Structure 1
């Protein structure tokens, strides 16, 4: 049975806010996005918006986490990652241009700041590379992958390729098949090792 009442309305409004914030952050970047504009777009006062997200940083982190949650397929747990999950996420990203644009622009902007975005991306990359390296190690232990490749280096390269492909795809979506290209790299790595 579907949820009804104030709780369901609150969840729906929260989703509406996240949609509007995603569009604004993706289009304008973090610094040029205003809470006032997001409130206006969602039919709230600024105080009403602050009821859902007490700061711009909190809203921004919720949008980034939502992006990662959307990259999680059916039956996948958001706190576990693997090579195959990375490959599937890259394939699905072509269906989410706003989220890809947000991720690329925000990760680039976070490099020169000491703020919440910088910390988010540092932690995210550390976690993601460790998870994928763990999966590569497990494949090596099962005899599915040669021990001649370094798990951390390979994980870092795969993540870098995924991010670079997103940028290439944003610049020229008709000529870049992100999923096929990263899949090809993984096949080459598996065969050469």
Structure 2
């Protein structure tokens, strides 16, 4: 994880990864078959950890947006994972990148979860009428990803959770803590 996070996929070597893991290159390849397979395994591990933090069932409506603020706060304690995500998500837009499909599907899934949560919140009267759930979902994801990059560059100056909560509150027209 650390090697991919600090060097990116293309500059990370299997030799360095194997050395950090206390294995030979052949040992790494025995478990993951390829460097791309290893990358997918690392990304899947990150997702399993995030899903476990979510609990047995996804929070509904604005509770899901509050969960995103909690995720931003938790990410401030996981620099390696945040760096891995920021580097690889940006790198994945290049032609032939092995994580391109992963990130395309991840963003599609995140947008769908947020749209669903915002529609639930709309049904419950928790958000203002006329808020476009799809545009709002894209905006929240963009803010969270952008904040991660800013935080990595200036961790003492960027509070990802506070900024995420502020932007969600702006979309709602009131602080998230007062909503719903």
Normalised by the shorter chain, which TM-score bucket? 0.7 to 0.9
Q: Which ranges of 4 or more aligned residues in structure 1 deviate by more than 6 Å? A: 78-81
Structure 1 vs Structure 2 CA RMSD: 2.1
Residue in structure 1 matching 2:148, options 166, 171, 188:
166
Conserved 8 A contact 1:71-1:93: no
Conserved 8 A contact 2:5-2:81: yes
2:99 counterpart SS class:
helix
| Superposed counterparts of 1:1-193, under 5 Å | 22-72=1-51, 74=53, 76-77=55-56, 82-191=64-173
Structure 2 Cα separation of the partners of residues 166 and 64 of structure 1:
17
Moved more, 80-89 or 51-60: 80-89
- Name stretches of at least 5 consecutive residues in structure 1 with no aligned partner: 1-21
Structure 2 Cα separation of the partners of residues 106 and 77 of structure 1:
28
Conserved 8 A contact 1:80-1:131: no
Conserved 8 A contact 1:71-1:92: no
TM-score by length of 1: 0.81
TM-score by length of 2: 0.87
Count of residue pairs brought into register by the alignment? 172
- Name stretches of at least 5 consecutive residues in structure 2 with no aligned partner: 175-180
Moved more, 60-69 or 94-103: 60-69
1:10-58 deviations in Å (ceiling 9; x for gaps)? xxxxxxxxxxxx1100111100111122122222222221221111111
Structure 1 Cα separation of the partners of residues 58 and 43 of structure 2:
15
Q: Whose RCO is larger (CA < 8 A, sep 6+)?
A: 2
Following superposition, the deviation at residue 79 of structure 1 comes to: 7.9
